[in-house]
Structure 1
Amino acid sequence: MPSFRATIQITGLRPGHAPEEVMDVAVAAVGAAHVVEANQLDIVAGTPRITVRFMVEASEYDAENQLARNAAVSMAHGINTVATTGALRTARRSAGKWLPL
């Protein structure tokens, strides 16, 4: 199964939400349709950034990429219920490298 990752900047929390809810929502959104391999929080240039790594069912290359893009958008929509966000990026693992979609 091909491996992908979705990365998004977190620019703030919405009122009434705890920081840990952001990752919980992100993992739940992706995990609703795909196997989540890992997740992490990084601070890049002072801005929190979360990454969710996941697999999609093997099929045709472009279809796999579209499923990954859809998962990333679902993750962003879910996160936006509890936090404000910045840039969303999706990448595919290929030959040991992460290639942007």
Structure 2
Amino acid sequence: MNDVLPPAQQNTKDEGRVPLHTRHVALHGYRRADCLYDIEGHLRDTESYDRASHGVFPKAGQPARAMRLRITLGLIFGFDSRPCVVARVATKRALALS
């Protein structure tokens, strides 16, 4: 891993380092049949240890958080014929934490 970090951030002594948290983020873009565009994002957090938070008890490696986001973009023409970008945002908690 040290070969991808700038020299100032390289840690030549990896012993004693324990991974704690991983965040996966994926973004996908789509052109829709109605000539609008969707950008969908998916976020998932995992921990490397069992934890308890707000009455939730995810085990190590299980998702602790997950969210989805969809942004729909398109162009419309206003009353003065100038184009403007319109956006609609929808979010969803993708993981039932109970």
Q: Same fold (TM over 0.5)?
A: no
| Structure with a larger share of its residues in helix | 1
Greater RCO, CA 8 A, separation 6+: 1
TM-score (norm 2): 0.30
TM-score (norm 1): 0.29
